[in-house]
Structure 1
Amino acid sequence: MQKRKTLENRDPLLQAVATRIRALREGKGIAQEVFAYEAGIDRSYYGGIERGKYSPTAINLAKIAVALDVEVGELFPGREELVVLLTSHN
């Protein structure tokens, strides 16, 4: 039987993106369910994105960025953090 992934063993880059998306949404004071509706993403799937359970497609990242009124790149950590995250995962 396959073990369920926990936050500790999920991809660190995916977790960083999830954390940034959640922080941006919460910073705008929008409830998760309302935001998912506004972004045009299934509520439970969106919740999984914020938990780092699901890796969002480019289309869903674009929808999230538009709904947050930010550039897609703002959903990702900066270059220095990206280097650390990508090298620590290998």
Structure 2
Amino acid sequence: MNTKELKYFQKLGAKIKQLREEKGIDQKSFAFDCEIGRTQLYMIENGKTNPRLLTLIKISNGLEISINKLLEID
């Protein structure tokens, strides 16, 4: 992963974490509801992995936002 990609994944992860926390959902429950592993969610929220599209779709559904809105990073 190059520096630009790393920064994008860090921003995306921070956005997912912020939106999840705004809904008052803990990481373990959210991961379960999205049918992904808690460790995987942790890695995504901390920008340490490149999530697959299907995983991002599950997360956007769990957050009740469109995939487009989820991927919009300032």
Give the alignment's TM-score, normalised by structure 1: 0.73
CA RMSD of aligned residues (A): 1.9
Q: Deviations over 1:32-68 (max 9, x none)?
A: 0000000000111111110111111000000000011
Q: Which has the larger radius of gyration?
A: 1
Supply the AA of the counterpart residue of 2:40: Y
- Equivalent residue, structure 1, for 2:64: 69
Structure 1 unaligned residues grouped into runs of 5+: 1-7, 82-90
The count of residues paired between Structure 1 and Structure 2 equals: 72
Greater than 3 Å deviation, 4+ residue runs:
none
Residue 23 (structure 1) aligned to one of 18, 21, 24: 18
For structure 2, which runs of at least 5 residues remain unmatched after alignment? Answer: none
Q: Distance in 1 between matches of 2:30 and 2:72?
A: 21
Question: Map of 1:1-90 to 2, 5 A cutoff?
Answer: 11-78=6-73, 81=74
Give the percent of matched residue pairs that are identical in Structure 1 and Structure 2. Answer: 32
- Pairwise CA distance, 1:77: 3.1
Partner amino acid, structure 2, of 1:76: L
